[in-house]
Structure formats: structure tokens, C-alpha cells
Structure 1
Amino acid sequence: MVTHLHVGFKIKNYEQWKQGYDASAKLRKASGEISFQVFRNVDDPNTVTVLSAQKSAEKVQAFLDSPDLKARMKAAGIIEMGRMLIMEQMDSGTH
């Protein structure tokens, strides 16, 4: 089963945040990230959600607890953390 990380947050500025997010690609990959998707709220473009596939729940938790991650998040302009979920994928499909 694939583990997914679902994180929502408020940012100051999308371009600033995205630059910081892209700069953390090596760190995210080294921490077990397989793939990611970035979403913006259509009614509030400074509300962002990231859904990423991860190698394991343990690696995700270690990544989230990293002091380096917290510093990067602050520098990227995250002003409010929302809901954060570590989930296991149970099913998927297409139509």
C-alpha cells in the first residue's frame, strides 16, 4: 500500500511559497516522497493543499518532525498550518 501525506495551509504569496517548495525537492525525495500534487483553493488562492505519495508513514513522520522542514516552511511564507493527515491508500480507479 502507498502512504499519502495530505497537508493544507495558508500562505502569504503563492509564488514565494512555490519557489520554496520547489527548492525542497531533494529533501522531500530523500525523505521518501514518490510524487506530489499541489492544489489551490478557487475562492482563496493563498490556501494551498499538497497531496503526496510517500514510501512509508515512518519516513513521513520523521520528515514532518525535521527542524529543517520547519525553517523552510517559515521561509516559504506559510502563515497557518491546517489539517495534516498521513493516510494509506486503500483503493483507486478511473472512469
Structure 2
Amino acid sequence: MLGFEGEQLVSFATGHYFAEVNSGFIVYIVTNPFVRSRGLGAKTLSKLEELLHKDAAAAGYASLSAIILEIETQEIAHTEAEKEDCMKRNQ
């Protein structure tokens, strides 16, 4: 999934729906660093969740059982800037 503002790419996300376990797995969510802190990551996540729910409905389920999103922890961040970014993503 790609997110644009005009002709500028502002976000990218990819995920998979697994009908066997009725769950979604979010692989990547990326926001253009030049337009961060405008809620684009949250909007991208919300849209991807919506698409995963549609996949569950198409597979015959009333609702999606789970969405899995793996994120790094502050302990593995190398710099203060990385730690701050990590804290924002965790929120």
C-alpha cells in the first residue's frame, strides 16, 4: 500500500492476511522522514488494518482474530534519536 500527497510519496506499508489463522501480519510501515509528525503513520496503520479486516470478511469471518506488528525496543536503539523514534512508534 502506498500513500501519496499529490505526487509525493509519504508512506508505504505492506502486510499479509493468513486465512488459516484469521490473522494479519504487518511487515512494514514507513513514513517519509520529510513529512513526519503529521499523523501519517497512524493513518497508514489504520488503512492497513481496514484492509486486513476486509480480507477476513472475504474469507468468511465475522471479524479479524489478531493483527501482529513487530517493533523494535528502546534497548536495541543505538542513538538518542533512534530511542526517541522508537518511543514514538511504540505510542
Q: TM-score of the superposition, structure 1-length normalised?
A: 0.33
Higher helix share: 2
**RCO higher in structure (CA 8 A, sep ≥6):** 1
Q: What TM-score do the two structures reach when normalised by structure 2?
A: 0.34
- Greater Rg over alpha carbons, structure: 2
Q: Which has the higher strand share?
A: 1
